[in-house]
Structures are given as C-alpha cells and as structure tokens.
Amino acid sequence: AQTVTQSQPEMSVQEAETVTLSCTYDTSESDYYLFWYKQPPSRQMILVIRQEAYKQQNATENRFSVNFQKAAKSFSLKISDSQLGDAAMYFCAYNRETSGSRLTFGEGTQLTVNP
C-alpha cells in the first residue's frame, strides 16, 4: 500500500522569508501524481501545486515550487516570500495512475507565518 509521510507537524516562517515543507512517499508504481493541498482556517481545501511523476521538471506556481526527487521518493514544497495568508495546514498527497483520483494523504504540516 502507498504511504505518505510528512515528518514536520508544525513549521513557522517569518513574513517575506522562504520555507520548505517536507514530504516522502512509498510506492512501487512508476506512474503517479503528487499534490500539495492547503487548508486554511476556513477548512476549504485548495490545490496548491501538482507534479506528474513522468515529468523531470519541477512544478512551479508563482511563489510555490516543488523539489521532486523520484529516486528518493521525496516531494518537498517551497514557499518563497511568505505571506500572512499562507498560514494554513498543508497536506501532501499521492495518487497512482490507475486509482482514479483516489488520493492518499500525509498527516499534514501546520504552517505559521509570523509578521
């Protein structure tokens, strides 16, 4: 079975600084998708970024980028120029090619942004 691990229950960053959230996963599949979701205090889960395993290039969305290391099964999220609105719970998630959107989530990392 696939597992996703986020080893940092809590992280904090100063406004305008950069922070990296870690995620590792375990799978025997070669084709899969990885996601980072953000859950602010309102509880609405929002997709931050997505990475296809067959793509070597790391995904980027504005201030958010990933470091995808397929061999190491690592998928970290970097947030640059952190803003107060980035404060949220962040979940890493895995979806294999054949599972039809059935995501497996990590435990979550609570990010605090200090002014």
Token pair belonging to 97: 């090619």
Q: Which is nearer to other proteins, 43 or 72 (CB)?
A: 43
Residue from 11, 20, 22, 33 in contact with other proteins (CB under 8 A): 33
- Which one, of 90, 93, 75, 84, lies nearest residue 113 by Cα? 84
Of 19-27, 61-69, 73-81, 90-98, which part binds other proteins (CB under 8 A)?
90-98
Q: Scanning residues 47 to 86, which ones bind other proteins (CB under 8 A)?
A: 47, 50, 52
99 is a contact residue toward other proteins (CB under 8 A): yes
Reported as type and span, the H/E element at residue 105 is strand 104-105
Of 13-21, 39-47, 61-69, 70-78, the segment contacting other proteins by CB under 8 A is 39-47
Nearer to other proteins, 46 or 84 (CB): 46
Whether the CB-CB separation of 38 and 88 falls below 8 Å is answered with yes
Q: Which residues contact 106 (CB under 8 A, 6 or more apart)?
A: 4, 5, 6, 23, 91, 92, 93
Q: Which of 98, 62, 67, 57 is nearest to 82 (CA)?
A: 62
Residues near other proteins (CB under 8 A): 4, 6, 9, 32-33, 37, 42-45, 47, 50, 52, 91, 95-108
